[in-house]
Amino acid sequence: MANVVKGEQLYEGKAKKVYATNDPDLVIVDYKDDATAFNGEKKGTIVGKGVINNRMTNFMFKKLEAAGVPTHLVEELSDRETLVKKVSIVPLEVIIRNVAAGSFSKRMGVPEGKELLTPILEFSYKNDDLGDPFINDYYALALGLATKEELDTIAKYAFAVNSFMVDFFKGVGVDLIDFKIEFGKTSDGTIILADEISPDTCRFWDSKTHEKLDKDRFRRDMGGVEDAYQEMMKRVLGE
């Protein structure tokens, strides 16, 4: 889309910057190498992360679009920049868990790696000051974060994303342990998948060795963070 012109920076988050364009319905997302964990308490850099997360997200979003999940993707502009539909983000972190890990294991006293009998859908209120607290549908409705119809749509799409991705990643020798996604509303109120799908937002374990190929390596000071991200890029994009 050669006629799209990058404008002023609208927002800078932990992992991305967002820029206006000359089209009010489109923005440019620029992926950074900055890494944070524990609601921003731990900070660092993962060299090349921005490129990997941008390209992997766009690759997965194209696949998900083809599988019937609408996304904000319009066009990849460069290794780090992508043109996307402008949305207002629904202030919910939408988490799907297939295998016990991370905060779920701590909270529920379930050992990491235990396969769950059914995928779990979980909501957190997207608010850094409060530490993104765990909420349910009733909280979301009571606080006006989303309508019943929007929550139903989000749940339907989240499970569809999970079904597709579990099979896809299994095909490249990776178990999808859990992941976080976010949804946004376009100017006409349509709910679409936004944000990203990457080693920042998903737990990926090698199917044979159970080696962690995601941001847990950064969170837990395990080393080999860049190598893990590169390995996921290689498996997903074949390069």
Closest CA to 25 of 79, 70, 88: 88
On whether residue 152 sits in a domain, the answer given is yes
- For residues 2, 4, 6 and 12, what is the CA-based torsion angle, rounded to 10 degrees? -120
Residue 144 has pLDDT above 80, yes or no: yes
pLDDT of residue 14: 87
- Average confidence (pLDDT) over 132-149: 97
Mean pLDDT of the chain: 95
Report CA dihedral (80, 85, 89, 94) to the nearest 10 degrees.
-70
Domain stop point among 87, 102, 131? 87
Residue 2 pLDDT exceeds 60: no
pLDDT at 164: 98
Mean pLDDT of 13-32: 95
Is residue 223 predicted with pLDDT exceeding 80? yes
Average pLDDT over residues 105-129: 96
Domain of 109: which CATH number? Answer: 3.30.470.20
Domain range for 18 is 6-87
Q: Do 52 and 156 have their domain in common?
A: no
- Cα-based torsion angle of the residue sequence 66, 67, 72, 76 in order, rounded to the nearest 10 degrees: -40
Residue 156 falls inside a structural domain:
yes
134 and 209 together in one domain: yes
Q: Residue 109: left if φ>0, alpha if ψ -120 to 50, beta else—which one?
A: left
Task: Provide the pLDDT confidence category of residue 41 given band limits of 50, 70 and 90.
Answer: confident
- pLDDT in the model for residue 239: 75
227: confidence class by pLDDT, cuts 50, 70, 90: very high
Question: Which carries the bigger pLDDT value, residue 18 or residue 1?
Answer: 18
Same domain for 60 and 100?
Answer: no
The per-residue pLDDT for range 97-109, each reduced to its tens digit, is 999 999 999 999 9
Residues 137 and 176 occupy one common structural domain: yes
For the segment 186-207, the average pLDDT, to the nearest whole number, is 96
